[in-house]
Structures are given as C-alpha cells and as structure tokens.
Chains A and B, each alone.
Chain A
Amino acid sequence: MALVKDAISFEGVGQTFLTDAGPLIALKGVSLTLDQHEFVAVLGPSGCGKSTLLRLTAGLMMPTQGRVSVFGKPVDGPRDDVGIVFQNATLLPWANVEDNVVFPAKHMRGRVDDKDRDQARRIIATVGLEGFEKRLPGELSGGMQQRVGIARALFLNPDILLMDEPFSALDALTRDAMGFELLRLWQASPKTVMFITHSIPEAVLLADRVVVMSARPGGVIADLPVPLGRPRDETSLRTAEMQDYMAHLRGLLIHKEIA
C-alpha cells in the first residue's frame, strides 16, 4: 500500500441481493483494477452486474464480499471525487441547462454562488452547448440532454467518471459523435473512466482496455488491452487487426451467454 497507483480496485468482490425469490448472486469473485487516468470499458450481457459494479465504486452500496477501493482507500460511502453519468440523462425537467449543471452544488450546499455559475457555463461550453444555458431539457434532443448529463457529472471536477451505458439511448450517428466528444473531453482533462456498454465497437473505439463479464453470476472473463493508438477516428476500426479483435470479443460474449 506504499504506492497508490490504482484509481479503482476490486478484490474478490461479490454481491448478493435478497429478493422475494430468494438470494440472487449478482457478482462473484470480481477482481479488477483501473489505473489512474485509464479509460476502461466494461462489456457484458444484460443483468450480469455491470451497474452493480458501478454502484459499488460510487459507494452507493457495500459489497457483501471482498473489497472495493478508490485511490487505495476502501469505499465506505459516496465520495466527492466520483461523477456519475446515467443511461438516460435524468435531468430535472423544471430546471434549465445551467441549473441542471450547477445542481450538484445546489444540492450539496443548498445554494449556488457566481463562481458555481461561471464554472457551469464553462463546462456547458466545453460539452458544446454554449447558447443553450437557459433552455429546458424538454427542448433539447436526446444527444444534447446527455451532454448536459455529462456536464453535470463533470461539474465537481471528479477524478473518476463512472458512465453507465451513457449513449445507449441515442441513435447510431449521435452515439459515435458523442463518443469522440467524450474522448476529446477526457484527453483535455484526464480522468479515470469506467464506461459500461453493450456495444463492442463503442467499447473498442473509446477504451484503453476492455473488461468482458460473464452472465449471472457476473465475473470477469477477459481483460484485454485495446491494440489501438490514439487519437482515433471513424476509420480506426476498419483494419483487419481490429476486426479480428472485435470478433474475438464477440466470441467471448456469445460463448458465455449460451453457456
């Protein structure tokens, strides 16, 4: 524990839920580490415990087995240095874009000051929504709403960004654009990103490493670095090597889903 290099680490983590139908083992023996400023995609079939993994990291629940640590310290509750982006933007429909982005400050402290507003406007500009500060979420497209969701997660300038299928509700074109946008943000202000997705191309295009999980009980079945340099663009996945790599991932997912 002398040298804290791991941003996030799971050591033999298991999670069992008590349900009406009896105990449900969602995660079993998960060991995984994310280095600082690393972009890791988590890929796995529906219900394998990806969101649970994210909630454990966020300190929203405690593992029933093993240990989750952030920057070397066991997670014992929510932390300030973790930002979360959800599948649906889940903005406050009555608050305009700017108020949605400053919401973390307002919610934590009960009020916002000019500095918060300046900060919010700066982040709104970096996610490409300048001029939309006073719009209500209902007036924005799905992609724009998700940009607001990302801006809100970035507002407290977290070291760790947890993203739970953030683009899965968007159409294919917007989805790609948002992916590159995210990479740009991440390169401008490095963070450790845990990016959960169902999409193999999305995982490969964005991440340094892809973690593949098995169906329930969820566990890590593969942890593969992505053999692709940066910067990346639309053509990055067209090489034979990347096609093989993605086919390999697909094989892992399909195989495990049948088994």
Chain B
Amino acid sequence: MSAETEAAPQDRPVLPRQSLSERLVRMPVVLPLFTFLSVLVLWEVGTRVFAVPSYILPAPSRIATGFGAVDLPRWIAHIWATLRVALMGYGAAILISLPIAIGLAKSKLLSRALYPLLVVIQSVPVVAVAPIIIVVLGTNDAPRVVITFMISFFPLVVSMTTGLMATPPELIELSRSLRAPQHREITQIRLPYATPYIFSGLKISITLAVIGAVVSEFVAAEKGIGYFIQFSTSMFKLPQAWAGLAILVAMSLVLFQSVSLIQRLFFPWSLPKATK
C-alpha cells in the first residue's frame, strides 16, 4: 500500500492546507459535543463551588439521581402519554392545515376571507385558553389534542401555503396548457414544489407539538412528563423535575431529527444544496 502511494506521489491530489478551526468545522459531531460537555462540567463545578442549593439549580450529577426517583415503566408511561398527545395533535394539525393551505393558495377569495381569521386565532394565547378548552371538552385526550393542535397548526398552514404558491408560474401555465385536471396540478406540481417549505413547517411544528402537549398536561392531567414536572416541583423535588425537563428536551430533539431524517431519506432533492 504505502509503497504504491510513494511510487507515484505526483498522482496524489494536492489538498489545500487546513487550519485547526477549519478542520473542526468539517467534523459534524465534535464541536457541538464539546460545547455540550463543557457546559455540563461548568455547571457541575459552578454549583459545587458556590454551593448552590438544589431547589435553585441542582448539579447535573444530582439531576442524574433524579432519574432514579421513578422506575423505568413509570418513566415510559409518562413519556408515552406526552408523546401520544404530541403526535396526535401534530397529525391533526397536518391533516387540517393541508386542505386549508391548498384553499388559500388556489383561491384569492378564500385567502382574503380566511387569512385574517387565522391570524386572529394564532394571536390567541393558547396557554390562556387551555383551561377553558379543558372545561369545555372534559378531561380525556380530546382537549389535550386540541391544545397541541392549536399550538402547532399555524406554522404549518403558513409554510404550506407559501410553498404551494412558490411554484414557478410557468409550470402552472404548462399544466393549464395540457388541460390537466386540477387535482394533478396540486399533486404533480404544487405539492412536490412545496416540499422544502412543508418540511421547514413540519420541523418547527413538531417541537411546538411537544410544547402543546406539556401545556395541556400542566392544566389537567394525571400522567405525562409535563404532569410529572409540575407534580415534582409542587413536592419540592427539583432534581427529578429537572430530569423530566431533560427528557422533554431529548424527546423534542429526537422528534425533530426524525422529521429531518424522513426528509433526507425520502425527499433528498428538497434539501438546500449546502446540506447535501
């Protein structure tokens, strides 16, 4: 091997010299991981040096013990409760925003009539209406799904509508000149064109859906991570509340990455050039 490469050194491409920072930028995991670990170490050291009481800011090691406060099946039950509501609300938001977005994109009349209403709905602070929704819809899944839906719905409608309208007008003219049925203009041209926009909406909305599920659990629930955090704080068990928070963050990250992965696997052409 090495004999070969030495035999023809002139065949080796001359690579540009890279500084250390350039090389670090090229490694995807190293830099974020370093930042993350540094923060943890600083946090641990800081809380010990200044003897911060754990009800103000528990050290990471204390939070780690917080995970032990509840056994694994209970954790899974809490996680599943939150995840289920988040995904149902998210699914409802996708199913409902798509036809609305198509209507808004296709009809000026509809968009003039409907858009102000959507903005008003979006301006309602969901956290404030959540108790009302619970009273109206009862304490089963329905109000939680509705709250999650309300929080994650608007970015989806906006991104889908923007995407559906981003189609080059020439392609719409091509479609018309072929006298194709209307639904094919949507399925074969507008929707695929909207894919990059739809995915940016999907990514924003999935994290909002987790927030929505947690908000609904704060208002009324007997399980779920949001409920667990509220319960733990009310019992002054801060380290385990922080453990719940860490799980929420992890859940959001995993969901967000899953959406990104779906885009990368099934719609690679819809990724911006630089990330390919």
Most buried by B among A59, A87, A103: A103
Q: Evaluate whether A77 and B184 lie within 8 angstroms (CB atoms) in the complex, with A88-B168, A136-B269, A138-B269 already known.
A: no
B252 interface residue per 8 A CB criterion: no
With a cutoff of 8 Å between Cβ atoms, the chain B residues found around residue A90 in the complex are 168, 170-171, 174
Pick from B19-27, B175-183, B225-233 the stretch touching chain A. B175-183
Most buried by A among B174, B176, B269: B174
With a cutoff of 8 Å between Cβ atoms, the chain B residues found around residue A59 in the complex are 177
A86→B170 CA distance, assembly (Å): 7
B4 interface residue per 8 A CB criterion: no
**Partner of B270 from A60, A77, A94, A110 at Cβ < 8 Å:** A94
With a cutoff of 8 Å between Cβ atoms, the chain B residues found around residue A58 in the complex are 173, 177
A92→B180 CA distance, assembly (Å): 16
Residue of A whose beta carbon sits closest to that of B181: A110
Tell whether, in the assembled complex, residue B177 and residue A84 are in contact, meaning their CB atoms are under 8 Å apart. yes
Tell whether, in the assembled complex, residue B180 and residue A107 are in contact, meaning their CB atoms are under 8 Å apart. yes
A108 interface residue per 8 A CB criterion: yes
Tell whether, in the assembled complex, residue B192 and residue A92 are in contact, meaning their CB atoms are under 8 Å apart. yes
Tell whether, in the assembled complex, residue B178 and residue A108 are in contact, meaning their CB atoms are under 8 Å apart. yes
Q: Tell me the chain A residues, 184-228 only, with Cβ under 8 Å from chain B.
A: none
Most buried by A among B170, B189, B195, B273: B170
Q: Evaluate whether A93 and B178 lie within 8 angstroms (CB atoms) in the complex, with A55-B173, A88-B168 already known.
A: no
A90 to chain B, nearest CB (A): 4
Q: Tell me the chain A residues, 88-134 only, with Cβ under 8 Å from chain B.
A: 88, 90, 92-94, 103-104, 106-108, 110
A168 to chain B, nearest CB (A): 14
Tell whether, in the assembled complex, residue A107 and residue B188 are in contact, meaning their CB atoms are under 8 Å apart. yes
A78 interface residue per 8 A CB criterion: yes
A225 to chain B, nearest CB (A): 30
Tell whether, in the assembled complex, residue B269 and residue A107 are in contact, meaning their CB atoms are under 8 Å apart. no
Tell whether, in the assembled complex, residue A107 and residue B173 are in contact, meaning their CB atoms are under 8 Å apart. no
Q: Tell me the chain B residues, 180-206 only, with Cβ under 8 Å from chain A.
A: 180, 184, 188-189, 192, 195
A27 interface residue per 8 A CB criterion: no
Q: Evaluate whether A104 and B269 lie within 8 angstroms (CB atoms) in the complex, with A84-B173, A90-B171, A92-B189 already known.
A: no
Tell whether, in the assembled complex, residue A84 and residue B174 are in contact, meaning their CB atoms are under 8 Å apart. yes
With a cutoff of 8 Å between Cβ atoms, the chain A residues found around residue B174 in the complex are 84, 86, 90, 104, 107
For chain A, the bracket of interface size reads: 20 to 34
Tell whether, in the assembled complex, residue A108 and residue B180 are in contact, meaning their CB atoms are under 8 Å apart. yes
Tell whether, in the assembled complex, residue B175 and residue A107 are in contact, meaning their CB atoms are under 8 Å apart. yes
B181 to chain A, nearest CB (A): 8
With a cutoff of 8 Å between Cβ atoms, the chain A residues found around residue B178 in the complex are 78, 104, 107-108
With a cutoff of 8 Å between Cβ atoms, the chain B residues found around residue A82 in the complex are 177
A103→B178 CA distance, assembly (Å): 10
With a cutoff of 8 Å between Cβ atoms, the chain B residues found around residue A93 in the complex are 269
B77 to chain A, nearest CB (A): 42
A138→B192 CA distance, assembly (Å): 15
Per-position 1/0 for B244-273, Cβ under 8 A of A: 000000000000000000000001011001
**Partner of A108 from B168, B179, B189 at Cβ < 8 Å:** B179
A94→B177 CA distance, assembly (Å): 21
Tell whether, in the assembled complex, residue B168 and residue A60 are in contact, meaning their CB atoms are under 8 Å apart. no
Per-position 1/0 for B141-165, Cβ under 8 A of A: 0000000000000000000000000
Most buried by A among B177, B179, B269: B177
A14→B159 CA distance, assembly (Å): 39
Tell whether, in the assembled complex, residue B188 and residue A94 are in contact, meaning their CB atoms are under 8 Å apart. no
Closest 6 A-B residue pairs measured CB to CB? Answer: A90-B170, A86-B170, A78-B177, A94-B269, A107-B180, A90-B168
12 additional A-B residue pairs with CB within 8 Å, beyond A55-B173, A78-B176, A107-B175: A60-B173, A77-B179, A78-B178, A84-B177, A86-B170, A92-B171, A92-B189, A94-B195, A94-B269, A94-B270, A104-B174, A108-B179
- On B, residues with C-beta under 8 Å from A are 168, 170-171, 173-180, 184, 188-189, 192, 195, 267, 269-270, 273
Q: List 25 A-B contacts (CB under 8 A).
A: A58-B177, A59-B177, A60-B176, A77-B179, A78-B176, A78-B177, A78-B178, A82-B177, A84-B173, A84-B174, A88-B170, A90-B168, A90-B171, A90-B174, A92-B192, A93-B269, A104-B174, A104-B178, A107-B174, A107-B175, A107-B180, A107-B184, A108-B179, A110-B184, A138-B273
